[in-house]
């Protein structure tokens, strides 16, 4: 039996990867692994509030393994923190595999493989190579619901920030934009879907321009 931890961003690709892992009978999902900006208590890449991340893990019924990162964080700092987390997962939780929600960026996939080289863990890429147009539609038709938490204004109109990832959004994309945002066009936060036992109650807050990207602040609804 493979004991798998899923690299969790809070977005749709990792959520869909979780859904795929849940269909497999030859593995056990041990938990979710997420890097946290320890200065701001937010998911490192998506800037999602930590309490929303906690709510997702609760909805998935899985433990959450948080990797605190300093701010600012160098690549060396990141790699040291991740390697330490790999060791702890293997030794303390008998983890054998780490799954990722990557789709087609070969350099990112190879970076993950290289980073895990001496970890005695095996990388998994359950949704690698899937057609992203079909994948985006499959996500929506199976009930995945998400908000756009971040957009790259060089690739998407800033008005998309905070909007729902839905069929209307997909219909507005031109052919230069990947419908799953794999080239960094946008990031998402999933609040509902077949991978969760319950919805995450969320409200949409302010939108800000930070470091050349447009972020929308999502909050846990009361």
Structural domains in the chain plus CATH codes: 2-124 (3.40.50.620), 142-220 (3.90.1490)
Least confident interval from 1-5, 43-47, 68-72, 129-133: 43-47
* pTM over cut 0.85: yes
* φ/ψ (deg, to 5) at 53: -60, -45
Would the pLDDT of 220 be above 80?
yes
What is the structure's pLDDT at 44? 80
Q: Give the confidence band of 216 by pLDDT, cuts at 50, 70, 90.
A: very high
Sign of CA dihedral 48, 53, 55, 56: positive
Question: d(Cα 199, Cα 27) in Å, to the nearest integer?
Answer: 25
DSSP annotation of 167 reads: H
Cβ neighbours for 171, distance < 8 A, ≥ 6 positions apart? none
> Measuring CA to CA, how many Å separate 83 from each of 3, 90, 114, 178?
18, 11, 11, 31
Q: Assign 17 to helix, strand or coil.
A: helix
Mean pLDDT of the chain: 96
Average pLDDT over residues 33-38: 94
């Amino acid at each position: 039996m493979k004991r798998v931890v899923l690299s969790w961003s809070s977005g749709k690709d990792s959520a869909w990867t979780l859904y795929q892992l849940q269909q497999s009978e030859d593995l056990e999902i041990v938990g979710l692994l997420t890097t946290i900006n320890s200065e701001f208590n937010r998911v490192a890449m998506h800037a999602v509030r930590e309490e929303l991340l906690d709510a997702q893990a609760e909805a998935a019924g899985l433990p959450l393994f948080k990797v605190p990162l300093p701010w600012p964080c160098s690549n060396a700092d990141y790699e040291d923190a991740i390697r330490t987390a790999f060791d702890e997962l293997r030794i303390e939780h008998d983890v054998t595999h780490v799954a990722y929600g990557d789709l087609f960026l070969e350099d990112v996939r190879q970076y993950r493989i290289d980073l895990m080289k001496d970890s005695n863990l095996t990388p998994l890429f359950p949704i690698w190579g899937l057609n992203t147009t079909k994948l985006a539609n499959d996500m929506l038709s199976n009930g995945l619901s998400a908000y756009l938490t971040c957009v790259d204004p060089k690739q998407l109109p800033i008005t998309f920030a905070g909007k729902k990832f839905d069929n209307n959004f997909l219909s507005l994309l031109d052919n230069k934009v990947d419908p799953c945002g794999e080239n960094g066009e946008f990031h998402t936060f999933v609040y509902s879907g077949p991978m969760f036992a319950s919805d995450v109650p969320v409200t949409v807050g302010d939108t800000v321009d930070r470091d050349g990207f447009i972020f929308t602040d999502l909050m846990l609804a009361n």
